Amino acid sequence: MINLRDNPHVHRFDHQAMNTTFSVRALHVDRERAADAAIACFARLDELEDRLSRYRSSSDVSQINAMHTGQSLLITADTHACLLAAMQAAADTEGLFDITLGVPIEHLKTKAPGTPAPPAGTLRIAPDRPAVDCLEAGRGIDLGGIGKGFAVQQMARLLSDWGIESSLVSSGASTLCATGPDHWPVELHGAQQRQSLALNNNTLSASGTAIQGSHLVHPDHPQHLTGLHRHVWVVGHDAALVDAYATACMLMSESQIRAFVCVCPGATHAYLERPDSALVDLRS
């Protein structure tokens, strides 16, 4: 878990979306201004959920997942930007982060009978325009490992547009994005140890089996749900990418996570709860 020690002078606003509680913490002299900015953020969040959720029948993602071989689909700029971020995360993690495993994920999470069929099909995301081509049907998009981070990032940018210079936006205990000159104290909670750090113009994202259990699909072994660590936390600057990195790190060994953080420019630190409950900084 991630516990935030709230500053009593910070205005906090909450909103339910994407199956969790999103929070906006705004440091501003005018609470009404902060409230108006938060309302705008939550409207933006609802808009993003309508476009990115595979559980919304009219969403871009649902329409992509219903495509047949040879079809092309124009999508919104938001969905296109999120898909491009997912492609970047896939490249950074050498394919461990894969949003096209929606079919086996759905099969396993709904406990459908039998073994999921091997992933098949090919989708192509146009790099320069908001469009998707289905070269071969069979792939399903699931943005669960990046959608919340993408939404948090968009909300943080909107707060800045509203003149909120210092803020912390969070999606439950999953992703936290700090902007502005202030430092935001955060605690990482393991089973027996805690780690304190401060966020300042960066993002922290968490993943693990402690709360959700095994909930990920490895692209090389899509027949079952997995997850190697009780807790992994990743720190970086792009909330969408950091969210994806934390997901991918759940499929890496400790030594692989350490090597990844050393070479990936988008990740500055990673913290791991070892089997003996020790919390370690894998960049130190």
Asked if residue 216 lies in contact with residue 247, where contact means CB atoms within 8 angstroms, the answer is yes
pLDDT tens for each residue of 113-130: 888 888 889 999 999 999
Q: How many domains does the chain have?
A: 1
Does 45 or 191 have the greater pLDDT score?
Answer: 45
pLDDT score for 19: 94
Give the global pTM. 0.94
Residues sharing a CB contact under 8 Å with residue 151, sequence separation 6 or more, in sequence order: 17, 18, 22, 45, 48, 49, 52, 171
User: 10 Å Cβ neighbour count for 191?
Assistant: 11
pLDDT at 109 over 90: no
Question: In angstroms, how far is CA 245 from the centroid of its own chain?
Answer: 8
Q: Cα separation of 86 and 279, whole Å?
A: 28
Q: Which two tokens stand for residue 82?
A: 């999120």
pLDDT score for 11: 94
Residue 209 phi/psi, 5° resolution? -100, -5
pLDDT tens for each residue of 129-183: 999 999 999 999 999 999 999 999 999 999 999 999 999 999 998 999 999 999 9
pLDDT score for 5: 59
Q: Cα separation of 13 and 122, whole Å?
A: 41
**CA 182 → CA 26, 166, 199, distances in Å?**
11, 6, 8
Calculate what percentage of the chain has a pLDDT beyond 70.
Answer: 97
Residue 85 phi/psi, 5° resolution? -65, -40
Closest CA to 229 of 199, 263, 255, 265: 255
Q: State the CATH number of the domain containing residue 93.
A: 3.10.520.10
The residue range of the domain holding 42 is 1-284
Residue 145 phi/psi, 5° resolution? -90, 0
pLDDT score for 26: 95
Q: Which two tokens stand for residue 22?
A: 């999103």
